[in-house]
RNA sequence: GACUCCGUAGCUCAGAGGGAGAGCACUUGCUUGACAGGCAAGGGGUCAGUGGUUCGAUCCCACUCGGAGUCACCA
């Protein structure tokens, strides 16, 4: 089925091009995985965006890369599944919903758990639709029939299954430990949800009195308010300064509690005073020391960061208020004797920004070591996950090697509720996939799981697992490539790998492509507070999705950050417009021409042979680089092929037959034009889906949509080195002539005769065959091509390999200027000759360098010597 | 403290063991029947520095300087 051609407007308008196109694709089900057994599956799962807001440029970047891969693979004949979905994003979403409630003067507690969750689900639906609309505008070819959400029934089942299994294996446990507490959102956090920032603080030096003694012991702290919970002072057992105090008792100032001085090797004698106050309920190290010495744990804060009843008169005060007050009080008592300014690392909550409090609390944990070890070991096997760029593998491994247990319980409502029940009377714990039968006697754990606990299962939970016979899981897992930013390697990539290894025995993806961050034009991170964020939808409104996509794909190299610059998007628009107009030209010349009319077996012109050769090279290059995820490299290569080779040379050369009246030649040229443009559009389609589909539909084509057209393959029969060499000579001649013309101020009259003196008769014949090109591009009055030409006295000249060009320009030529120009040229060739000869004179080079390189240099030497001699001779003539 | 990345044209960035590239900006000339958001011709870089490996280094290695980041940590 072939279609006839249509006309295009003279300017590329992305709105017209993109309008309704996505609907056409979705309605045509071009993006749906077919399960076709004839085809090999190729799978990508989208990193599920949070349902908290709109997508930003980072998402646009990330998903565009996936779309590019998916589209190419689809065209290469794979059964592509690109599975979309979203993440419930526990803390983030709950915070947004609470914010919304607050605006209405309500809190989540006013609503109660059930009602609150209902509101959250409504929120989710609303934002999910925003996100889908944005995917649409970006042109992402995802399979909506398989869209998933982390709180879906199926995924929740997977979560419960994983939790219960790990619990049964002893890899999940519940216990009272020091965790990172966010007093603002009132939940525990995992280690990586804490961001450490250098913060100006103070170092407070205290003297704790020794009981029944005049002596005091000097300790220093950055968090004096925690002293209310001190239950010991620790020194190093070998510390001569304090040896005699070990076992003695300290009377804790203000509190009056008597606490022991203990010896512990973990104390650093060099740091501070060498004596440490021990607060097991508010510091991870102190907690460990406390365990070793059987110390009491006294919690002095509430969940909201205010002091509790154990803080005595400070009860009810905010922790930082308390700090101020306690400093005053200690100072008054003479306990505090020095305050130093101190820059130290303070942990902040990734979500709320609140200062994280190390806090004693009962939480659920994943025992990481066995899981991490298995994942590390997998990297030595054939199930290795390949990182692109490779260096991120080291970062990943380093993290796993030093991993600590993962605190997975969160004091939130929005999320997967922990499948643990506590017996109301016996306090017995039940962990199971389903609630206990005598549910009235049990109470379920109030907490939910860390969002990342469910995202860690994403590559398989979305495909029907834990049902291992699920059709999609069987066919599409493991996935082929994951695309994500380096900022979530720990949060997500690593966790998917170890969970996948543990539960499926396989890697979750073969490759992982890591990209950087999007920055503003000045290189700053885009952030709300700076107000320097750019909405991808604004970019699309202005320049179209294709321009945005191409900019994102080619703007950086894997693993590097990307600066957003409007000028670059604009430059990409120019490129799109170029393609648009080249296509417009093609359509104007393909009136009545159909896909079936394409016939490349005819008598091809030099231009035809050359462009087909270049097309082959481009196909090879673009395919290879896209396969390696080198989109920048592939995109630039395509850009150069399209703009420089196809538009600037091929189309211009094709105008000769197209505007001529030889119908046979015209048909051949139309065939090549239609074919090359078709192949270009196909290769460009993964990068710029909209414009390519639009043009392709209008060109002679076969098939319903370019999305399912076959990816171009190299056609060896069109590889023609001779044509490439001839073209090179031709281009050199044309450029030389243009060059000469640029030297002459006044326009050159058409009366001029252009003379080309060739080295041998073969070249004469060759150039005679290509005469029409020379006539069109150089536009001389007369063109003489011969082995010997009569060189007029007043002429400008140029040398190319195998030939010498003369342009007699009586009256226009300034002999002195021409001499100066030629002298410059002579200098250039002389330099080249020297460089090459020096190289060839080096025995080591000739003996050790690869033969091909040496031969190449020898050929250059010959060529340069020849040119040098010709220029020299011409100079002599002029000077005579 | 450990590790990673970056330093190439005025700007933003590619690149590759064998004569330095692109886009934008700049200069000059063009209403050339696809495109003036275009065409053509140009100018502009000791590829941060110092050593080393090599026949050959801007590219590989070491160190130094400058910029960015990740992880860990001392109370």
Tokens of residue A110, six digits = 């006013």
Contacts of A481 (CB under 8 A, 6+ apart): A44, A66, A69, A509, A510, A511, A512, A513, A629
Alpha-carbon distances of A534 from A50, A60, A496, A538, A566, rounded to whole Å: 18, 11, 30, 7, 10
How many other CB atoms sit within 10 Å of the CB of residue A137? 19
State the pLDDT confidence band at A5, using cuts at 50, 70 and 90.
very low
Cβ < 7 Å from strand B, A residues 151-210 = 191-192, 196
Q: What angle do CA A499, A59, A464 make, to 5 degrees?
A: 35
- Assess whether A406 (CB) lies less than 7 A from strand B: no
Q: Is the pLDDT of residue A4 over 50?
A: no
Q: pLDDT (tens digit, 9 = 90+) per residue, A689-699?
A: 999 999 999 99
Q: pLDDT (tens digit, 9 = 90+) per residue, A641-663?
A: 999 999 999 999 999 999 999 99
Alpha-carbon distances of A809 from A787, A796, A800, rounded to whole Å: 21, 7, 20
Contacts of A665 (CB under 8 A, 6+ apart): A603, A605, A657
- Assess whether A391 (CB) lies less than 7 A from strand B: yes
Determine the distance between A746 (CA) and B58 (C1') in angstroms.
42
Give exposure, A103-131, as e/b (b: 16+ Cβ within 10 Å): eeeeebeebeeeebbebbeebbeebbeeb
- Assess whether A509 (CB) lies less than 7 A from strand B: no
Element (H, E) at A138: helix A108-138
Query: Measuring from the CA of residue A736 to each C1', which nucleotide is nearest?
Result: B41
- Give me the DSSP letters along A721-784: HHHHHHHHHHHHHHHHHHHHHHHSSSPPPTTPEEEEEESSHHHHHHHHHTHHHHHHHH--SEEE
Distance of CA A476 to the CA centre of its chain: 23
DSSP state of A276: E
Q: What is the pLDDT of residue A478?
A: 97
Element (H, E) at A348: strand A336-349
Element (H, E) at A342: strand A336-349
Alpha-carbon distances of A118 from A91, A97, A121, A201, A474, rounded to whole Å: 16, 11, 5, 43, 35
| E strand intervals along A210-293 | 216-221, 232-235, 249-251, 258-263, 275-278
Q: What is the pLDDT of residue A745?
A: 66
- Assess whether A368 (CB) lies less than 7 A from strand B: no
Determine the distance between A542 (CA) and B37 (C1') in angstroms.
14
- Assess whether A567 (CB) lies less than 7 A from strand B: yes
Q: pLDDT (tens digit, 9 = 90+) per residue, A276-311?
A: 999 999 999 999 999 999 999 999 999 999 999 999
| Percentage, residues of chain A above pLDDT 70 | 99
Given the cut 0.90, state whether the ipTM is greater than it.
yes
Q: pLDDT (tens digit, 9 = 90+) per residue, A8-60?
A: 888 999 999 999 999 999 999 999 999 999 999 999 999 999 999 889 999 99
- Assess whether A285 (CB) lies less than 7 A from strand B: yes
At A420, phi and psi to the nearest 5?
Answer: -130, 140
Q: Is the pLDDT of residue A126 over 60?
A: yes
Q: Is the pLDDT of residue A273 over 70?
A: yes
- Assess whether A256 (CB) lies less than 7 A from strand B: no
Determine the distance between A392 (CA) and B7 (C1') in angstroms.
21
Q: What is the pLDDT of residue A747?
A: 60
What percentage of chain A's residues is helix, strand, coil (to nearest 5)?
50, 20, 30
User: Would you call A474 exposed, middle or buried from its count of C-beta atoms within 10 A (0-12, 13-18, 19+)?
Assistant: middle
Nearest to A710 by CA among A25, A76, A42, A2: A76
Q: Is the pLDDT of residue A1 over 60?
A: no
Q: Are A609 and A720 in contact, with CB atoms under 8 Å apart?
A: yes
Q: Are A476 and A41 in contact, with CB atoms under 8 Å apart?
A: yes
| Percentage, residues of chain A above pLDDT 90 | 84
Q: What is the pLDDT of residue A752?
A: 83
- Assess whether A222 (CB) lies less than 7 A from strand B: yes
Query: Measuring from the CA of residue A8 to each C1', which nucleotide is nearest?
Result: B34
- Of A66-75, A191-200, A682-691, the one with minimum mean pLDDT is A191-200
Q: State how beta strands A803-808 and A753-758 pair.
A: antiparallel
Mean pLDDT across the stretch A459-480? Answer: 96
Q: What is the torsional sign of CA A690, A692, A693, A695? A: positive
Task: Tally the C-alpha atoms within 13 A of residue A399's C-alpha that lie toward its C-beta.
Answer: 19
How far is residue A54's CA from residue A52's CA, in Å, rounded to a whole number? Answer: 7
Q: What angle do CA A585, A590, A593 make, to 5 degrees?
A: 160
How far is residue A556's CA from residue A61's CA, in Å, rounded to a whole number? Answer: 11
| E strand intervals along A424-477 | 429-431, 442-444, 448-449
Q: Are A184 and A351 in contact, with CB atoms under 8 Å apart?
A: no
Determine the distance between A622 (CA) and B7 (C1') in angstroms.
29
Q: What is the pLDDT of residue A675?
A: 97
Query: Measuring from the CA of residue A828 to each C1', which nucleotide is nearest?
Result: B19
Q: State how beta strands A795-800 and A803-808 pair.
A: antiparallel
A74-77, Cβ contacts within 8 angstroms, sequence gap of 24 or more: A74/A30, A74/A42, A74/A141, A74/A707, A74/A708, A75/A682, A75/A685, A75/A686, A75/A707, A75/A708, A75/A709, A75/A710, A75/A711, A76/A710, A76/A711, A77/A39, A77/A40, A77/A710, A77/A711
Determine the distance between A295 (CA) and B53 (C1') in angstroms.
60
- Assess whether A7 (CB) lies less than 7 A from strand B: no
Best mean pLDDT range from A127-141, A338-352, A745-759: A127-141
- Which residue reads 């029934």 in tokens? A153
Determine the distance between A485 (CA) and B8 (C1') in angstroms.
26
Cβ < 7 Å from strand B, A residues 837-866 = 839, 842, 844-845, 848-850, 853, 856, 860, 864
- Assess whether A283 (CB) lies less than 7 A from strand B: yes
Determine the distance between A565 (CA) and B25 (C1') in angstroms.
14
Determine the distance between A832 (CA) and B51 (C1') in angstroms.
30
Distance of CA A686 to the CA centre of its chain: 16
Q: What is the pLDDT of residue A743?
A: 82
Query: Measuring from the CA of residue A734 to each C1', which nucleotide is nearest?
Result: B40
Q: What is the pLDDT of residue A3?
A: 42
Q: Is the pLDDT of residue A812 over 90?
A: no
At A438, phi and psi to the nearest 5?
Answer: -85, 60
State the pLDDT confidence band at A570, using cuts at 50, 70 and 90.
very high
How far is residue A236's CA from residue A263's CA, in Å, rounded to a whole number? Answer: 5
Strand ranges across the sheet with A509-515: A386-388, A509-515, A479-485
Chain B bases closer than 7 angstroms to a protein Cβ: 3-6, 12-16, 18-19, 22-24, 28, 33-35, 37-42, 54-56, 70-75
Cβ < 7 Å from strand B, A residues 688-717 = none
Q: What is the pLDDT of residue A742?
A: 85
Strand ranges across the sheet with A795-800: A782-786, A753-758, A803-808, A795-800
Q: Is the pLDDT of residue A767 over 60?
A: yes
- Assess whether A9 (CB) lies less than 7 A from strand B: no
Cβ < 7 Å from strand B, A residues 782-841 = 832, 835-836, 839
Q: What is the pLDDT of residue A2?
A: 37
How far is residue A723's CA from residue A721's CA, in Å, rounded to a whole number? Answer: 5
Mean pLDDT across the stretch A328-345? Answer: 90
């Amino acid at each position: 089925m072939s279609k006839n051609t249509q006309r295009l407007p003279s300017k590329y308008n992305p709105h017209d091009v993109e309008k309704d196109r996505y609907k056409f694709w979705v309605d045509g089900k071009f993006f749906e995985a077919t399960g076709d057994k004839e085809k090999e599956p190729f799978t990508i799962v989208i990193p599920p965006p949070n349902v908290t807001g709109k997508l930003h440029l980072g998402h646009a970047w990330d998903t565009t890369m996936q779309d590019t891969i998916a589209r190419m693979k689809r065209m290469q004949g794979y059964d592509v599944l690109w599975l979309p979905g979203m993440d419930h994003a526990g803390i983030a979403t709950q915070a947004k919903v609470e914010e919304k409630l607050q605006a209405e003067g309500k809190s989540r507690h006013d609503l109660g758990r059930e009602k609150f969750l209902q509101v959250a689900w409504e929120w989710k639906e609303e934002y999910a639709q925003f996100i889908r609309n944005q995917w649409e505008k970006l042109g992402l070819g995802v399979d909506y029939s398989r869209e998933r959400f982390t709180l879906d029934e199926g995924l929740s089942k997977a979560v419960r299954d994983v939790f219960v299994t790990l619990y049964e294996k002893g890899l999940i446990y519940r216990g009272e430990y020091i965790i990172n507490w966010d007093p603002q959102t009132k939940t525990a956090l995992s280690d990586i949800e804490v961001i450490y920032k250098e913060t100006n603080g103070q170092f407070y030096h205290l003297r704790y009195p020794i009981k029944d003694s005049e002596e005091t012991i000097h300790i220093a702290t950055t968090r004096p308010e925690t002293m209310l919970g001190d239950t010991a002072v620790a020194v190093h057992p070998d510390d001569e300064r304090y040896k005699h105090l070990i076992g003695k008792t300290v009377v804790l100032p203000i509190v009056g509690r008597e606490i022991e001085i203990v010896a512990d090797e973990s104390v650093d004698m060099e740091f501070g005073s060498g004596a440490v106050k021990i607060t097991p309920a508010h510091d991870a190290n102190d907690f460990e020391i406390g365990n070793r010495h059987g110390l009491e744990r006294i919690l002095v804060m509430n969940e909201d960061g205010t002091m509790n009843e154990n803080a005595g008169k400070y009860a009810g005060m905010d922790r930082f208020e308390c700090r101020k007050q306690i400093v005053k009080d200690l100072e008054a008592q003479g306990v505090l004797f020095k305050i130093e300014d101190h820059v130290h690392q303070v942990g902040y909550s990734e979500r709320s920004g609140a200062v994280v409090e190390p806090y004693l609390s009962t939480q659920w944990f994943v025992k990481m070591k066995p899981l991490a070890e298995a994942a590390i070991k997998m990297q030595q096997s054939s199930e290795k996950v390949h990182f692109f760029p490779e260096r991120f593998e080291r970062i990943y491994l380093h993290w796993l090697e030093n991993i600590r247990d993962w605190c997975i319980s969160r004091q939130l409502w929005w999320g997967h509720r922990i499948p643990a029940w506590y017996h109301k009377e016996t306090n017995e714990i039940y962990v199971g996939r389903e609630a206990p039968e005598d549910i009235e006697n049990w109470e379920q754990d109030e907490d939910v799981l860390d969002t990342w606990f469910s995202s860690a299962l994403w590559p398989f939970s979305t495909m029907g697992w834990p049902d291992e016979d699920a059709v999609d899981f069987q066919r599409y897992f493991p996935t082929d490539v994951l695309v994500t930013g380096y900022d979530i390697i720990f949060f997500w990539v690593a966790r998917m790998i170890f969970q996948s290894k543990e539960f499926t025995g396989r890697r979750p993806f073969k490759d992982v492509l890591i990209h950087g961050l999007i920055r503003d034009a000045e290189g700053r991170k885009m952030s709300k507070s700076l107000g320097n964020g750019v909405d991808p939808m604004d970019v699309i409104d202005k320049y179209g999705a294709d321009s945005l996509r191409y900019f994102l794909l080619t703007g950086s190299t894997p693993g590097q950050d990307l600066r957003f610059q409007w000028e670059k998007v604009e430059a990409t628009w120019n490129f799109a417009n170029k393609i648009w107009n080249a296509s417009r030209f093609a359509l104007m010349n393909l009136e009545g021409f159909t896909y079936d009319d394409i016939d490349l077996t005819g008598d091809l012109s030099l231009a035809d042979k050359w462009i087909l050769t270049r097309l082959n090279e481009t196909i090879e290059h673009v395919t290879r680089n896209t396969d390696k995820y080198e989109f920048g490299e592939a995109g630039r290569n395509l850009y150069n092929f399209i703009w420089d080779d196809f538009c600037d040379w091929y189309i211009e050369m094709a105008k000769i037959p197209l505007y001529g009246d030889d119908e046979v030649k015209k048909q051949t040229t139309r065939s090549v034009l239609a074919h090359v443009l078709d192949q270009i559009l196909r290769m460009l389609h993964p990068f710029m889906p909209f414009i390519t589909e639009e043009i392709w539909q209008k060109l002679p084509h076969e098939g319903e949509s370019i999305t399912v057209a076959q990816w171009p393959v190299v056609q060896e029969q069109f590889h023609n080195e001779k044509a490439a060499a001839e073209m090179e000579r031709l281009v050199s001649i044309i450029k030389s002539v243009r060059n000469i013309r640029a030297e002459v101020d006044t326009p050159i009259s058409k009366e001029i005769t252009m003379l080309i003196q060739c080295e041998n008769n073969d070249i004469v014949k060759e150039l005679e065959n290509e005469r029409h090109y020379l006539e069109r591009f150089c536009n001389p009055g007369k063109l003489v091509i011969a082995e010997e030409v009569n060189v007029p006295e007043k002429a400008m000249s140029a040398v190319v390999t195998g030939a010498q060009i003369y342009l007699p320009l009586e009256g226009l030529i300034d002999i002195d200027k021409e001499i100066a120009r030629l002298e410059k040229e002579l200098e250039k060739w002389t330099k080249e000759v020297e460089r090459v000869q020096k190289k060839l004179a080096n025995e080591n080079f000739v003996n050790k360098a690869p033969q091909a390189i040496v031969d190449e240099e020898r050929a250059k030497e010959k060529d340069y010597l020849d040119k040098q001699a010709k220029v020299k001779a011409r100079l002599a003539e002029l000077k005579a």
